[in-house]
């Protein structure tokens, strides 16, 4: 009983803290929902970032973020909307950040939590790439009844180099964008990386549909590293009987 009261007061304190901050900063509203089943905001707010802007370099080119500024986004727990908060996706370290007043933290990485930023859903999945198992955030580009096309955003960082002499200019540090694509056949399985080679691509799909698939790929000159072509293919594939 004592532990239950302690948890209740802890939740109410965190809830009021967010509401006060939200009211002061005009950043949205919070609705008491399924977080009350035992997942407190202290669990969602996984860690406070030691540096508010850890990429503050004067000559940095590019950005580690999907969008550099925090944007009002929706946070869902087990598909229930819990509220709207300032959110930002740090692609480089693959984490969703949340801002509470002046404090910035990373959201706990769990498949129970997903967010919607600028109308785009970001959700956590396990996957295998280069024979290494990882977990990361995906975007669902094409949603089908059984098959979906997913995008995995990535950022690569290149260290800057000082000028070697008067003939060789300094190289500024920079982030470059990259994205790879996955197919998700069933919701209870991990997505599969889409290879760029035709034979490996075809091998992912059922044998009884390969004739139609191959004809479509050839007729439409589908490029496996082009998102518009992949969207066209998966729209076609989801219409197959």
Taking a C-beta distance cutoff of 8 angstroms, is the pair 104, 86 a contact?
no
d(C-alpha 74, C-alpha 16), whole Å: 19
Distant-in-sequence, close-in-space partners of 51: CB < 8 Å, separation ≥ 6? none
pTM (predicted TM-score): 0.77
Domain ranges of the chain: 2-194
Taking a C-beta distance cutoff of 8 angstroms, is the pair 98, 104 a contact?
yes
Q: Per-residue pLDDT for the chain (241 aa), expressed as one digit of tens each? A: 444 433 333 333 333 334 434 333 433 343 333 343 444 555 565 555 555 566 777 788 899 999 989 999 999 988 888 888 899 999 999 999 988 777 788 888 889 899 999 999 999 999 999 999 999 999 999 988 879 999 999 999 988 877 777 777 878 889 999 999 999 987 668 999 999 999 999 999 999 999 999 999 999 999 999 999 999 999 999 999 8
């Amino acid at each position: 009983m004592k532990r239950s009261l302690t948890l209740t007061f802890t939740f109410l304190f965190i809830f009021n803290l967010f509401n006060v901050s939200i009211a002061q900063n005009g950043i949205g509203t919070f609705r008491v929902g399924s977080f009350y089943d035992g997942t407190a905001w202290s669990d969602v707010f996984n860690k406070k970032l030691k540096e508010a802007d850890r990429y503050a370099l004067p000559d940095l080119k590019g950005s580690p973020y999907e969008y550099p500024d925090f944007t009002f986004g929706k946070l869902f727990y087990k598909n229930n909307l819990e509220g709207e908060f300032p959110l930002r996706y740090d692609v480089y370290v693959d984490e969703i950040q949340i801002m509470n007043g002046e404090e910035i933290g990373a959201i706990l990485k769990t498949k129970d939590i997903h967010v919607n930023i600028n109308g785009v859903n970001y959700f956590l999945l396990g996957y295998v790439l280069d024979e290494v198992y990882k977990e990361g955030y995906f975007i669902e580009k094409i949603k089908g009844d059984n098959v979906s096309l997913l995008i995995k955003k990535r950022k690569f960082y290149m260290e800057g180099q000082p000028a070697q002499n008067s003939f060789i200019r300094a190289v500024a540090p920079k982030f470059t964008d990259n994205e790879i694509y996955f197919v998700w056949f069933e919701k209870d399985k991990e997505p599969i990386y889409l290879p760029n080679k035709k034979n490996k691509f075809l091998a992912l799909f059922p044998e009884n549909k390969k004739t139609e698939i191959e004809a479509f790929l050839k007729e439409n000159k589908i490029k496996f590293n082009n998102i518009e072509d992949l969207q066209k293919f998966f729209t076609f594939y989801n219409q197959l009987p």
